[in-house]
Structure 1
Amino acid sequence: MNNAPVYFDYAATTPVDERVAQKLMQFLTRDGQYGNPASRSHLLGWLAEEAVEEARNELAELIGADNREIVWTSGATESNNLALKGVAENFEPDDCHLIISATEHKAVLDPAEYLRKQGYGVTVLSPDRDGVISASAVAESLQPNTRLVSIMAANNETGVLNPVAEIGALLADRDIWFHIDAAQAVGKIPVDVNAWQATMISISGHKFYAPKGVGALYVKRRSTLQLKAQIHGGGHERGMRSGTLATHQLVAIGEAARLAKTELTEEAERIGALRDRLWAGIADLGDVHINGGNAPRTPGHLNVAFGGVDGEALMMALRQLAVSTGSACTSASVEPSHVLKAMGLADSVAHGSLRFSLGRYTTAAEVDQAIDSIREAVPALRKQSSVAS
């Protein structure tokens, strides 16, 4: 790993915290607690079940929930699918309208499009110039048969925070359920299911130093909601998500949640300061701006538009840094980010944008290295573009 690029892509995934990995390993091999949590006839099963429930408690405490409101899943994509489809399938298509935003992750956009093709009504809200979905925009789109509103807490590309507490308050007195994709929020900013007045919240472990392939859906107990299961076979997780529980994965996300709860405030301050240091080091390059920079954001996100530079070319010039363009590659072309396009950015600006995301292991030295690399690459690429034109 000595030749590995410096990592500035924590929004895509995080390395597993060593403390989390050590705990995970205790639930894999023969000298550990490898039992099936559903095996209630012997000690190994009991110990596994106890570990799973302890993890459920840890995650619940991180978000201010009751442990009975945590439904284990494989991650936010599954959670989002369960939330949207699990609500819609309670109704005939012409009796169910859903509201989402244009800046949602594909894990919400694609299930919503699937439901639209089945005949369900779907309204896709456009954000303001900073990428924010306002409560007033939600209010204006409500229909008599609106059953579910799904708005993300923090955008995966820009880090922009939506006013989910305000939206939750709007919907609280109505017979409308509220789902929040909080994959980019949990473990990074304070999350309180009661303050947000959410019915469901999607969580992804690998966004806060747990392994890939594990997550959860918070499902409010004091609600009229009855989710339709999307995976059948055994009735696990109170019938909402069947499948043998991966004890080692769940123990890991529980430990990651415990660490996040303990360290969140201090860590957010440190990461936010490093992000601001990175921006301060490149802000004077000229014709650069932060996408969504006028809105509240998560501490680790910095999505920068570099005028006169192609994002793919800049990313190649910054090979020593692991960053993201936010572009969606198709078989024939590279399309500009749907998030930046929804915010009203021109294709040229969207194509010239890079996402830098910082995290637990980012250092000041790495930030300074990134600043030096960017300050060298951007003028050189602009000069090449000027000569070519």
Structure 2
Amino acid sequence: MIYLDYQATTPLAPEARDAMLRWLDGPDGAGFGNPHSPHRMGRQAAAAIELARDRVAALFPAGGKVIFTSGATEAVNLAMRGTRSHRSGSDGGEGAISVSAIEHAAVLDTAKSLGRCHELNVAKNGQCNTKQDLPADTRLVAVMQVNNEIGTIQPTVDWHRKAKESNALYLCDVVQAFGKMEVTGADMIAVSAHKLHGPKGIGALWIRNGLELDEVQTGGGQESGLRSGTLSPALCAGFGAAAHEAKERMSADMDHVEKLWTRARDLFDGWDINGSEEARYRGNLNIRRKGLDVNRLMSECRTVMFSAGSACASGSGRPSHVLKAIGLSDKQAKNSIRLGFGRYTTMDDLEAAAKQINDAARSQGVLQ
């Protein structure tokens, strides 16, 4: 099989797997201790978690703390719910959340569930339009760094500035950028380990120094009193190792992805690209062909793992809200596929996959 769905998840790095194994050992290995216990095994597990925290923190801007969570979705919820009291409305109610129209469902749905939510419009190139004003009641702005469906890099520096000017906080989902490029500044940053070759089931929320969040998940008071629950040393160690490896290999990984992108653009000549080609993470190729039956294409290319859209929304039958936001019709959105590649993708893999996809598209008569 050929894996081209790096935006959905990434292969576990060998370094992350090795780091996890010690903390999965049974009685003989004695790596199963509770990191919140005061005895030797507990202290060893706690030390492993703090090492992992330092390694993850090294990918963030200076001047903040890392809170481990079960993933980016929980991190987003902690950020949005933990800042509900920030800049309350004059009527005593909570202020509104302003989000870009192409945010991940974890951001959009959480914002909508909390009351007043304003959607910020997006240009045809897939970037959130910085010329629009923030509504006066905005308490929190959420604009991601790299879009998960079309890979467009957002003007996060400008949105952070606009949030400050409006006395609002700024939350940035950097799931698709973390470990692949430098992370821009924010008040809070949400990440997930399995998008940078770490394990599933763990993520983090970075919080800038001086910002206090309300407790959202009550219990034992772990994670600075913000996220109660026993941490998994194995998951934390895997996340830390993946982050360390990503930092060491960031330049090499980016060069490799650039070469794959350049080749992919040749291999898929004649396909239309969705979103900006310039302001884009090169490991994301979202393309379309008029009249393409994507379900049939995927059925005929069963050994190639790619996506018809966001993995989190697959099976819903609805056109991608991201593709709709950049002006595509329902038909155009449903004629689109997403190919994601990265560190472990070989050129041979890419070329073999492109041949299968292009041959299947030709059999439908939508490609010469």
TM-score (norm 2): 0.93
C-alpha contact (below 8 Å) 1:188/1:299 kept by paired residues:
no
Q: Match for residue 351 of structure 1? A: 334
| Residues 1:34 and 2:32 aligned together | yes
Match of 2:79 in 1: 83
Shift of 1:359: 1.5
Residue of structure 1 aligned with 2:146, choices 134, 148, 154: 154
Say if 1:169 and 1:197, in contact at 8 Å, map to a contact too: no
- Partners of 1:357 and 1:7 in 2: how far apart? 8
1:206-225 residue CA offsets vs partner (Å, 9 max, x unmatched): 000111000000011133xx
Give the aligned partner of residue 387 of structure 1: none
| 1:87 maps to amino acid | T
Aligned partners of 1:113, 1:9: CA distance in 2, in Å? 28
For 2:97, the equivalent position in structure 1 comes to 98
SS of alignment partner, residue 55 of structure 1? helix
Q: Which residue of 1 aligns with 2:254?
A: 268
Structure 2, unpaired ranges of 5+? none
The Cα RMSD (Å) is 1.8
Q: Where does structure 1 lack aligned partners over 5 or more consecutive residues?
A: 385-389
Deviation of 1:80 after TM superposition, in Å, equals 0.8
TM-superposition CA deviations, 1:74-124 (whole Å, max 9, x none)? 0000011111122125546734111001111110111112112xxxx2101
Q: Is the 8 A contact 1:282 1:374 kept in 2?
A: no
The one-letter code matched in structure 2 to 1:236 is Q
Distance across 2 between alignment mates of 1:383 and 1:359: 28
Secondary structure (helix, strand or coil) at the match of 2:131 reads helix
Whether 1:16 aligns to 2:8 is: no
Q: Do the aligned partners of residues 383 and 251 (structure 1) sit closer, same or farther apart at CA in structure 2, a change above 3 Å counting?
A: closer
8 Å CA contact 1:172–1:197 kept in 2: the answer is: no
CA contact (8 A) 2:128 2:154 kept: yes
Could you tell me which residue of structure 2 aligns to residue 204 of structure 1? 192
Q: 1:383 to 1:101 in 2, by over 3 A?
A: closer
8 A contact 1:17–1:209 mirrored in 2: yes
State percent identity of aligned pairs.
36
Q: What is the aligned partner in structure 1 of residue 163 from structure 2?
A: 171
Indicate conservation of the 8 Å contact 1:130/1:295, yes or no: no
- Displacement of 1:173: 4.5
Alignment of 1:250 with 2:250, yes or no, is no
1:320 aligns with 2:318: no
Q: Give yes or no for contact 2:75–2:190 (8 Å, CA) kept in 1.
A: yes
Contact 2:193 2:203 in 1 (8 A): yes
Structure 1: distance between partners of 2:261 and 2:217? 40
Q: Per-residue CA shift, 1:115-169, capped at 9, x if unaligned?
A: 12xxxx21011210011013323xx1231x3210011111111111101112112
Task: Give TM-score, length-normalised by structure 1.
Answer: 0.88
Among 30, 33, 55, which residue is 2:52 paired with?
Answer: 55
Contact 2:36/2:230 (CA < 8 Å) preserved in 1? yes
User: In the alignment, what sits opposite 1:131?
Assistant: 126
Q: Give the whole-Å Cα distance in 1 for the aligned partners of 2:344 and 2:44.
A: 33
Matched, 1:307 2:290: yes
1:383 to 1:355, Cα distance in 2 relative to 1, 3 A: closer
Secondary structure (helix, strand or coil) at the match of 1:244 reads: coil
Q: Aligned partners of 1:122, 1:186: CA distance in 2, in Å?
A: 26
Deviates more, 1:29-38 or 1:74-83: 29-38
Q: Is the 8 A contact 1:318 1:374 kept in 2?
A: yes
Letter of the structure 1 residue corresponding to residue 34 of structure 2: N
The AA in structure 1 aligned to 2:8 is A
SS at match of 1:374: helix
After superposition, give the CA deviation of every residue in 1:232-278 in whole Å (9 maximum; x if it has no partner).
10111111100011111001101111000000111111012112211
Where does 1:374-389 land on structure 2 (aligned, <5 Å)? 374-382=357-365
Give the aligned partner of residue 142 of structure 1: 135
Paired residue type of 1:97: A
Q: Does structure 1 residue 220 correspond to structure 2 residue 208?
A: yes
**Greater share of helix:** 1
